Structure 1
């Protein structure tokens, strides 16, 4: 599948029309349900194929952020053989009390994996937490950059964002058929 077709598939799968209350409390007549494209094995496989080419050289661990980054990191791990860890928003308070579940991240070059980046706020928090556990983090990969200051905010935090697609790419891919 070429990248234009993938963008069209993602948009057509995840874009919903209706009435939706957003996290901000505002009401919107459209919604982008990212879990719909992440749970589609055909689309997820294509996403992994494309994203695998963007993984920075020297990456030792892929860190999938809770919750949307986890399926992407898993698919990338299967595609590349690079181990994955699954990063909680906060360390669990029982058992191992881990923030990052899986292989040890201390001293390793870790690339954060996220599905959709809006402002980058949670990525910055998670990167800080992972660094406190000894991870070396410089890069973030995402499927979709919503183009709402995420790239700039991450850059200010010393993180480099590479995205497969932007929201503009998704809309452009469907403009011909809509």
Structure 2
């Protein structure tokens, strides 16, 4: 197993762009279409890239965080890797409660009263993160922060801020299109 040093943000952006940025037609859940998209499964399928992404994202986790919450499906591998990188326990959020078995919407560590940070792959409008923040809050887990690998400038940050959730993004769409050289301002 490798114990390589954490790459710079520019190096990581380049690797993420090469591995997970796909130029092909893609339809979002709301029906909108994209000409290119970020394939979180390619990120999750590359163990070194997933480890390096989580290690880099660990610096974005607020100091007072007590729990990490990954949103199905893209946020689950990220939250597992981020949990390993930070030592914080994790929960996993379904969009809807499971229809059989436990019938839970939230699985994993005990969460009641623990300051929870949401984790997802891409944030666009922020609607999914806001829904999950509400779900956690109703269940007794205070949520004031969310993390993502990639932020698309489609209003998500503003929507979340209106509901007292601060978004911390590792990269923006522009970072993947043309990563800044090391030391650039």
Same fold (TM over 0.5): yes
Structure 2 residue runs without a partner (length 5+) = 1-6
Please give the TM-score of this superposition, normalised by the length of structure 1: 0.91
Task: Tell which deviates more after alignment, 130-139 or 27-36.
Answer: 27-36
> Which of 78, 85, 91 lines up with 1:79 in the alignment?
85
**Contact preservation (8 Å) 1:8, 1:174:** no
Deviations 1:5-28 (A, max 9, x none): 11011111112234x241254555
> Which of 34, 52, 62 lines up with 2:58 in the alignment?
52
Query: How does 1:14-93 map onto structure 2 within 5 Å?
Result: 14-18=20-24, 20-23=25-28, 24-25=30-31, 28-93=34-99
> Which of 156, 160, 174 lines up with 1:154 in the alignment?
160
Task: Tell which deviates more after alignment, 3-12 or 29-38.
Answer: 29-38
Tell me, in whole angstroms, the C-alpha distance in 2 between the residues paired with 1:144 and 1:26. Answer: 18
Tell me, in whole angstroms, the C-alpha distance in 2 between the residues paired with 1:137 and 1:91. Answer: 19
Q: CA RMSD in A?
A: 1.7
* 2:117 is the alignment partner of 1:111: yes
Structure 1 stretches (4+) deviating beyond 6 angstroms? none
Structure 1 residue runs without a partner (length 5+) = none
Deviations 1:127-168 (A, max 9, x none): 111111110110001111112111111111110000111111
> Which of 125, 135, 145 lines up with 2:141 in the alignment?
135
Residue 81 (structure 1) shift: 1.1
Tell me, in whole angstroms, the C-alpha distance in 2 between the residues paired with 1:55 and 1:68. Answer: 18
Tell me, in whole angstroms, the C-alpha distance in 2 between the residues paired with 1:45 and 1:146. Answer: 22
Tell me, in whole angstroms, the C-alpha distance in 2 between the residues paired with 1:165 and 1:17. Answer: 18
Tell me, in whole angstroms, the C-alpha distance in 2 between the residues paired with 1:135 and 1:169. Answer: 32
CA distance 1:172–1:139, change in 2 (3 Å): same
Please give the TM-score of this superposition, normalised by the length of structure 2: 0.88
**Alignment: residue pair count:** 174
**Contact preservation (8 Å) 1:63, 1:85:** yes
**Contact preservation (8 Å) 2:10, 2:180:** no
